[in-house]
Structure 1
């Protein structure tokens, strides 16, 4: 049965592929053009569109480098996925004294208590290493276990050249990543609203704690967002990010920026001090100037009026629709007619109505996607293209929806009735005897044809 169902699904997706809007590539040089007229000082860099993951620019993006404090983006991601913001973090001796002397810190004391939220601000704005260590211990109990969580998350996100060995990014030969992997991590973290809020905060104040009677002011060190040491690198479209620096890592920087409705993630690694801001600004400007995003639902549709576009599903277009949130990002010199689409099986654990995905490419690069949504609620529980002939775009498989709970209830009622009947039959003699005794005790005396007349205390019978 499972094999038949899998075959039916595979067949159905083949027909979807033949029925969805398929873009035709224009045979022109412009169709293969991808902007590449910008360079940076950084040894490794990448710009990724946040919604689709489309890579707009890359330079040695898979080369391995030390990440320094941009490591804390992964730390924040895991903390936000596993903790409530009001939980209490207690700083251990290892957290306070186990980090490199003279490294970034907000001078916490052993036994000091702060909320998860306050500790996150300390880590992300001031890059406090003791905060990163304390958060790791709070989540996993010890640093080794937290590191295991970091590496497991990196693998889950598709990182290919990453291995973490601490939560703060201090130098370690077994602690490394690439610009591409760091972009994947940064993109995933930014999807968490609280993370986006924290990295976009210019300043924050930690109130008095059990160890510090005075509040602790914090400033965001990202100079494209906030006047920290100079206003030279302020960038009006910057949404925030995370800085990093060690002697062996050089300058590292993750930055988010948004313009004209398009959000980009930029990562530069092994850069020189201050050039990380210039490189990032130049990359943002180049990408914003040369790329545009388009809503897939605006040009891909299933229509009964255009058979050459929708193919054999034209008569059943009500079954599926293109997700309105789907987008593509392509060079401004290209047209939506230049992209090609492929339909692939796809499911979403959070949305059971998703049955497939339109994946778009241009110039041999992935440029976006849109989910295919099943909208026919009347056949919920069956595969969307069952009970539809093959010639009409269906699977050709006959499907009868079975409501197992209702069938089970009916069976239980029938069994209960049968049991009741059998019980009554087994007790029939006792029931009849009980009935006879009951009737005997409560039956009225029989009437006769004689009445008794009393006269002077004597009884005489008179026949009626």
Structure 2
């Protein structure tokens, strides 16, 4: 005969099971019976930078009369924002920390692009190309050849070349120093969801960003004319090796080869419709991140920013969903109410902080509105004199109590006092 658990034990067992089921790691990616991994879920609470609603899981939108419905989307996270006003028109898990892939190169450009002149020349050493992850995207830089900074940035933006990133990082003092500066730049931009481990966006443990932060990086970068030029360039010629004569000996003539921007919304490649008015900005793909993309487009004087992270499988899906959100944003902008905002840099926020209210000053610093300084001085003098007189009276009273014998009066002769009970 099997005995039944006691009621108290059963309650404890049920509570333990409930706690285990509610734990984050178990819900994040349990396996199906067929071995597939279940879709992860966003945290219950996320950063509220830019507005409380942006920290709430799920889709955030506040339509008004005439606002078109949102398109059907599969991305784990996305955001639509007005680049000029900073208004967030709609968002979905905007602060979910996810792997960013090569969209992180926007932050790399924000950090390093202002450091070097475009015509500066660098000869690549063997060590410049060390430390790149296996399977990295490469533009085709070779050791012992020289490249201008302009060439290297074309390699970063057009071909998403991790080799170009590592060469520029070396010029900037090394990969480790560049990573530190990128994290500092993210903090300055109030991109608090971002943690950089590798400057090229290659999958690394702990490397994360968010749709909100990537949009901040794009908005910041587009203020730089060189950034705008590179991300809007569809194709270019990239320096190659020196040509050889008929005997196989190198000549003094250096060859070139063509590179094309991997942003299909810009070029219209591989069956993706070129988006009208697109300004850039950056696409990416890694195993952990899936497809990621941040795009900017202009229409009728309005510039919109859209970031899409990890949509359903298919390399073109990220472009389809970005196009759909841009279309929606341009139609909805006149009527939809914002659900948040793209914050300014920390320096700008500090500089624009309101001055302290004079009314909050201490009594010694306060001034009486509508009175002259001399009148205020005499007012304080009068108050001080009154305070001194009051203190003197109290002291005198205390002395009298000490020197005068207490009078014993019958109870009915005591003066009446109001009750202090409440």
Instruction: Please report the TM-score for the alignment, with normalisation by the length of structure 1.
Output: 0.55
Contact residue 47 and residue 264 of structure 1 kept, 8 A: yes
Change (3 A) 1:109 1:49: same
Counterpart Cα distance in 2 of 1:68 and 1:223: 16
Contact residue 189 and residue 216 of structure 2 kept, 8 A: yes
Q: 267, 273, 277: which is aligned to 1:237?
A: 277
Stretches of structure 1 lacking an aligned partner (at least 5 in a row): 1-28, 293-330, 339-345, 358-388, 399-464
Secondary structure in 1 matching 2:202 = coil
Stretches of structure 2 lacking an aligned partner (at least 5 in a row): 1-61, 244-252, 339-345, 356-367, 375-422
Q: Does 1:218 align with 2:259?
A: yes
What is the number of equivalent residue pairs in this alignment? 284
Change (3 A) 1:348 1:43: closer
Secondary structure in 1 matching 2:255 = coil
Q: 320, 325, 330: which is aligned to 1:283?
A: 325
In the alignment, what sits opposite 2:290? 250
In the alignment, what sits opposite 2:208? 176
Q: Mean Cα displacement is larger for which, 49-58 or 102-111?
A: 102-111
Counterpart Cα distance in 2 of 1:155 and 1:108: 32
Contact residue 89 and residue 135 of structure 1 kept, 8 A: no
Counterpart Cα distance in 2 of 1:31 and 1:236: 26
Change (3 A) 1:94 1:229: farther
Secondary structure in 2 matching 1:64 = coil
Q: CA deviation at 1:249?
A: 0.8
Secondary structure in 1 matching 2:139 = coil
Q: Which has the larger radius of gyration?
A: 1
Counterpart Cα distance in 1 of 2:197 and 2:120: 25
Q: Does 1:193 align with 2:225?
A: yes
Q: CA deviation at 1:197?
A: 1.1
Q: Does 1:120 align with 2:160?
A: no
In the alignment, what sits opposite 1:437? none
Counterpart Cα distance in 2 of 1:215 and 1:111: 16
In the alignment, what sits opposite 2:87? 54
Q: Does 1:264 align with 2:297?
A: no
Change (3 A) 1:117 1:347: closer
Contact residue 95 and residue 133 of structure 1 kept, 8 A: yes
Change (3 A) 1:348 1:127: closer
In the alignment, what sits opposite 2:114? 81
Q: CA deviation at 1:128?
A: 0.7
In the alignment, what sits opposite 1:442? none
Change (3 A) 1:348 1:47: closer
Q: Which has the higher strand share?
A: 1
Q: CA deviation at 1:94?
A: 3.7
In the alignment, what sits opposite 1:424? none
Counterpart Cα distance in 2 of 1:203 and 1:243: 15
Change (3 A) 1:220 1:355: same
Secondary structure in 1 matching 2:214 = helix
Q: 71, 77, 85: which is aligned to 2:104?
A: 71
Encode CA deviations 1:383-432: one digit per residue, 9 max, x unaligned: xxxxxx978xxx9999xxxxxxxxxxxxxxxxxxxxxxxxxxxxxxxxxx
Q: CA deviation at 1:265?
A: 1.1
Contact residue 244 and residue 251 of structure 1 kept, 8 A: yes
Contact residue 89 and residue 119 of structure 1 kept, 8 A: no
Counterpart Cα distance in 2 of 1:184 and 1:85: 24
Counterpart Cα distance in 2 of 1:106 and 1:397: 72
Encode CA deviations 1:143-173: one digit per residue, 9 max, x unaligned: 1000000000000000121100111111101
Q: Does 1:133 align with 2:174?
A: no
Instruction: Please report the TM-score for the alignment, with normalisation by the length of structure 2.
Output: 0.61
Q: Mean Cα displacement is larger for which, 145-154 or 99-108?
A: 99-108
Counterpart Cα distance in 2 of 1:208 and 1:201: 19
Change (3 A) 1:214 1:142: same
Encode CA deviations 1:195-225: one digit per residue, 9 max, x unaligned: 1111011111124567992113210111111
Counterpart Cα distance in 1 of 2:278 and 2:310: 21
Counterpart Cα distance in 2 of 1:215 and 1:225: 23
Secondary structure in 1 matching 2:157 = helix
Encode CA deviations 1:31-74: one digit per residue, 9 max, x unaligned: 79987633421100011211122111110011111111111111
Q: CA deviation at 1:276?
A: 0.3
